[in-house]
Amino acid sequence: MLVERKENGDFTITREPGEELCLEEENLAVAILWHVPDMELLGEQGCAGNFDMYQCFYNLYTDKKYMILYGRDEDAFLNGETILLKAMDLNEDDKADLRREEIA
């Protein structure tokens, strides 16, 4: 797995040419958690309209939020395309989720 952190806080993740994924890594969220340093889930999965689901992540090092769309991003990842995890600032709900996770 190739992971690159950009200067602006974004990450890219892609499979190496010819790389075979284990069953768990075929789930993009699992691949991100296993291969992107300091990444953890942020909140629950959500519905992104009628046709897709999203998942947010939090990176401890960058203190930023990242989001994937399962239908679009997971299909692209499985087809060998590079996925961009774009750094986003945390909003108040995100910060509250992080505080709840610290307490638990």
Task: Give DSSP secondary structure letters for 26-65.
Answer: GSHHHHHHHHSTTEEEEEEEEE-SSS-EEEEEEETTTTEE
Range of the domain at 92: 2-103
For the chain, what is the domain count? 1
Q: Tokens 């203190």 — which residue? A: 63
Q: How confident is the model at residue 101 (pLDDT cuts 50, 70, 90)?
A: confident
Distance CA 64, CA 7 (A): 13
What is the predicted pLDDT for the residue at 99? 80
22-36 confidence digits (pLDDT tens): 999 899 999 999 999
Contacts for 62 with CB less than 8 Å, ≥ 6 apart? 5, 9, 38, 87
Distance CA 15, CA 60 (A): 23
Q: Tokens 């996770």 — which residue? A: 101
What is the predicted pLDDT for the residue at 104? 57
